[in-house]
Structure formats: structure tokens, C-alpha cells
Amino acid sequence: MDSVYVIGHRNPDTDSVVSAMAYAALNNALGENNYIAARAGHLNTETSYLLQHFGFQPPLYLKSVRTQVVDVDYDMPPSLGAGVPVSYAWNMLHNEQNSVSALPITEEDGRLYGLVTAGGIAESDMRSVADPSVSSVPIYNLLSALEGHVINSEEDIFDEISGEVVIALPGEGAEVRPGSIILCGNQKSVADQAIEAGASCLIFCGTTLGEQYRNRSCSTCLIVCPYDAYRAARLIFQSIPVGRIACTENLKFFHLTDYIDDVRDTVIQSRFRSYPVLNEEDKVVGTLSRYHLIRPRKKKVVLVDHNETSQAVSGLDQAEIIAIIDHHRLADVQTGNPVFMRNEPVGSTTSIVAAMYQEHGLMPSPALAGLMAAAIISDTVMFKSPTCKPHDKVLAERLARHAGINCEEIARAMFSQGVSPDMPAEALVKTDMKEFHLGAHTLSISQITTVDSESFLSRSNDFVEVLDKIRNDKQYDIVLMMITNVLREGTELLFSGDDEVVRNAFGVDDVHDHHVFLPGVLSRKLQIVPALSQLWG
């Protein structure tokens, strides 16, 4: 069953992370068992604190949902050791269960050694016609291929066989040279001559003549086999270790994490029919062919807490969106098929997921309930945000009771754990930054929620400098940074751009040094974005 990744927006806040975790847990509890909570960016300090406080590990960090090799139904043929006989590799290639054009050859630890193909084996076999010699063939390989056994005295020890392969024809002698491999039938004179000349190996093919030499001690390895001399000769060449004929240089291979776009470019530019696939430990897990790239599976994703491509995880155009759970305005995410979508004007996406638990007659675990309550409190700024609805508060308090926590206490604890004013200015600006498209205008809005805005305002010049850089680099019309004070119930707004845009959008005159205080403004999506939309829409 394909995994389904539940993922929030880039620069994730607590609501984005927790709603993904809660929705994945809900579906898994309902029997899906394949939903995975993910995140598209690094956690902020508030979210990290809450996860640790309630005993959860951070969700999977998913940098992109572009299609990867792991999403492809690549072949999984057996991987062979470099020492197995060529004949064994040939049989595996022509096994109906494999149906592959190449087999990976591996080291003992599973790492890639080379690649063997049917064409490579055939080429090696053809070379043996012009050069009928073998070198250092392990005796075990030779005996396995010939289905034979050694008849020398037990004192004679042979580990490898080398030499020119010579067939002694019936009625004729054979040119026996020292170190050669002689194949004979019922030809005693040839056998004696081979032993006397110091042949490397003497093979008795389909005859009982070998019984006359059993237990003889000599420097020539004596072998009996049931095959005729011609077949035995071919089997000798097929007994060499497959690693010797495998392609080991200039190999093209891919990892499970490689993106299909990059793989396709490499395949187009190369001539190979098959490519080894390696895991993160560089161990072989399969092979990939051109036809695998025609229709790769797409990653399945559920978007939570956003529905804008500019805020979504990278590579969304290559993924299959199967659901969207959100509480923001409808934007520009497009889907190839009808999807489940739930968009409600509430203060938190986690509130929507909590309602879905209620509708299914389920209650999350106490730890998850506490985390969900904290997420609702975070996104509604302790129920003070204009986005907050009575239903948000009811759900948060119900979850808090189940978790055995107090809403006000967890609010004070997590807001005090917010971002530190000592962090680099650029990091603070980008901690919770979202991009928006309003008509022909593009902008970004950052937000920091705190109980001590003065410590941040002391660095306003640093922040404005960063905002200027972002606006120039991204060609934004305006860049805003909200420093939202929970206690004052308002926002210190820093910006880079035209002062008149801020004055006209928010109806303020007291704008100085790219800064203005907006009393009662707590929500980015319900107060900042709509005000700019009316101006630019």
C-alpha cells in the first residue's frame, strides 16, 4: 500500500505540524495504516517545545515530493556474488520469474561490484572460441558445472585450475602440453600421456576409464564427469567466476532517493539497458530499466493548513493530492482528480481535525489531545485572534480536559518559548514566512508571536535590512514582518516597500522608519491579507 504523506506549509508553525500529525493518526486509527505525518521545513522553538513537552518526535522532514526512484516499481532480481559460476548467472537471467536483462553482482557486504548481462555472457563465450584457455578457475566452480568429482589421492590438493582446454578426439592423439586441460573419452594412451606431460587437469568424459586412475597421486587433477567432451568443454568456460566477465567500469547506477527527472536525463544520455538501484547504505536493492520511467507512481499527499503552491512543499506538481484540510482562503492549488476537501472559517486547522475525530466517535490519546489543544491555542493566540470561533475554544478546552492540562498555563508556557530575539535577524524573519499572490502583486508576510515585543523592536533596523534584501531578491512588491504581542493584543508591523501601501491598506498615518503599530491586529490571514487584497485585488 502506497504511503500517504500529510504535510503542512513551508516554514511550519505549530498548527501546521500538529494538524498533520493528528490527521495522519486519525486515518491510521480508522484502518488506513499508511498515513505518515510530515513537515516541509524546520520546526520553530514553540513547536519543538510542545512536541518535547507531550512526548512526540518531530514528523518526517520531507524536502520535496518530486517522484523518486523509490516510487518506481523497479525490478528486484537476485544479486549474485562475484564468485558464482557464469552458468548460474545465465540460468538466473533466463529464469521466467526474473525476466530481467541484467543481474547486479555484489560484494559480500551487498555493495555493488558490477553488472552482468546475457550479452556479456555470450560475448565471453564467443571469445573462448578464439582463446580456449581459462585461468584460476576455482575447483568448486569446475566440479559444480561438470557435476563431476576428483579421483586423485586424498593427499593431492587442488584449489584452482588453469590452462588451454584441449579435446582429444577418438582414434587420434592430442597435443598434450604441460599445464593444459585435457578432455578425453575411453583413451588410455591420451590419459597416460597427459599425466606424464604434467597436464594441469585431465577430465574423463562419459567413460569408466577414470576408475583405473582412482586414488592415483599426481600433479595432474583427475576429474570424472558424465558429459561428453564437447559439452564438458563448454561447461568449463561457463564455470569461471561471473565477476570476471561482469561490467565493473563506468557503471551508471541510481539511489532510491534520486529524482526521476535526473534519472531520466542520465538514461537518455547512456546506452545501458539496465541500471543498479542502491539504498542509503550503497547496497543493491534492484535494477531499473527504461520502461520503468514511462509511468512512475506519484507520491500521494494531503495538504493541511494551506492550499497555495507558493507555500507548499517543493515538487507538488509531481505529486498526487488526495485531500486538502485548511482554514485559509482558497488559492491556486490544482488537482488532476476530484479530492476530499474540507475548508472551514475557523481559527485553526487542528480544530477541523479535532471535529473529524468527534464525527468518527474517536478521541485522540491524552498526549495527542494535549498537543492538539496547544496548537489551537497557538493559532488563535489564546482565543484572542479574530479568526477564532466559539467552536475553537470548545474543542481546545475539551481536548485539554482529556489531556489533563490547563489552557492558560500551556499558553503562557509555549508563548514564552517563542523565538529568541537573540537569533540572527534573517532566521527570525524566515521562521514563519508565507508568500502570497494578490492580483498582479506578490508579497511575503512573516509573523512572530510573543509576550515581549520590545526586545524584538530594539533590532528593527536589522529586520528591515533583511526585509529589503528579500524584497529585492524575490522581486516582491512589499515584504511585511508582524511582531504580534499577545498581552498588548496588537502587532508591531515592520515592512519593506512603499509607505503609502501600508497607510492606505490599514488606514494609519503614524508610519515611521518602516514601522507602525496596529492595535487589535493578530491575524495574518484575516486582517493583513484581506486589507491588502482590498487595495490590490
pLDDT digits (tens, 9 = 90+) for 48-59: 999 999 999 999
Q: Is 329 helix (H, G, I), strand (E, B) or coil?
A: coil
Q: Is 368 helix (H, G, I), strand (E, B) or coil?
A: helix
Task: Look over the chain and give the mean of its residue pLDDT values, rounded to a whole number.
Answer: 92
Query: In this predicted structure, which of 79-83, 99-103, 163-167, 317-321 has the lowest mean pLDDT?
Result: 99-103
Q: What percentage of the chain has pLDDT greater than the value 90?
A: 74
What is the dihedral sign for C-alpha 523, 525, 530, 536? positive
Q: Work out the angle at residue 51's Cα, subtended by the Cα atoms of residues 49 and 52, and round it to the nearest 5 degrees.
A: 65
Contact indicator for 248, 198 with CB cutoff of 8 Å: no
| 169 confidence band (pLDDT: 50, 70, 90) | confident
Q: Which residues contact 235 (CB under 8 A, 6 or more apart)?
A: 87, 145, 146, 227
Predicted local confidence at residue 336, as pLDDT: 86
Rounded to an integer, what distance in angstroms lies between the CA atom of residue 360 and that of residue 420? 40
pLDDT beyond 90 at 237 = yes
> For residue range 138-155, what is the model confidence (pLDDT) as tens digits?
999 999 999 999 999 999
Instruction: Please report, in angstroms and rounded to a whole number, the separation of the first and last CA atoms in the chain.
Output: 44
Q: Is 235 helix (H, G, I), strand (E, B) or coil?
A: helix
* Domain annotation for the chain: domains and CATH numbers: 4-67+299-416 (3.90.1640.10), 425-536 (3.10.310.20)
Q: Is 324 helix (H, G, I), strand (E, B) or coil?
A: strand
| 371 confidence band (pLDDT: 50, 70, 90) | very high
pLDDT beyond 80 at 1 = no
Contact indicator for 46, 382 with CB cutoff of 8 Å: no
User: Could you tell me which residue, 432 or 371, shows the higher pLDDT?
Assistant: 371
Grid cell in block for residue 418: 517563542
What is the dihedral sign for C-alpha 314, 316, 318, 321? positive
Three-class SS string for 25-91? HHHHHCCCCCEEEEECCCCCHHHHHHHHHHCCCCCEECCECCCEHHHCCCECCCCEECCCEHHHHHH
Grid cell in block for residue 167: 579435446
Q: What percentage of the chain has pLDDT greater than the value 70?
A: 98
DSSP notation for 421-461: TTS-HHHHHHTTEEEEEETTEEEEEEEEEES--HHHHTTHH
Predicted local confidence at residue 413, as pLDDT: 87
Predicted local confidence at residue 137, as pLDDT: 95
pLDDT beyond 80 at 97 = no
Q: Work out the angle at residue 337's Cα, subtended by the Cα atoms of residues 334 and 340, and round it to the nearest 5 degrees.
A: 85
pLDDT beyond 60 at 15 = yes
Grid cell in block for residue 256: 532510491
> Which neighbouring-strand residues pair with 484?
449, 491
Predicted local confidence at residue 192, as pLDDT: 93
Q: What is the CA radius of gyration of the chain?
A: 36
Rounded to an integer, what distance in angstroms lies between the CA atom of residue 360 and that of residue 531? 38
pLDDT beyond 80 at 95 = no
Burial label, 324 (beta-carbon count in 10 A; 0-12, 13-18, 19+):
buried
Predicted local confidence at residue 174, as pLDDT: 60
pLDDT beyond 80 at 29 = yes
Q: For residue 492, report the phi and psi dihedrals to the nearest 5 degrees.
A: -85, 115
> For residue range 419-457, what is the model confidence (pLDDT) as tens digits?
778 889 999 999 889 999 998 999 999 999 887 888 899
Contact indicator for 521, 527 with CB cutoff of 8 Å: yes
Segment 487-503 mean pLDDT:
93
Predicted local confidence at residue 537, as pLDDT: 65
User: Could you tell me which residue, 414 or 470, shows the higher pLDDT?
Assistant: 470
> For residue range 41-94, what is the model confidence (pLDDT) as tens digits?
999 889 999 999 999 999 999 999 999 999 998 989 889 999 999 989 998 888
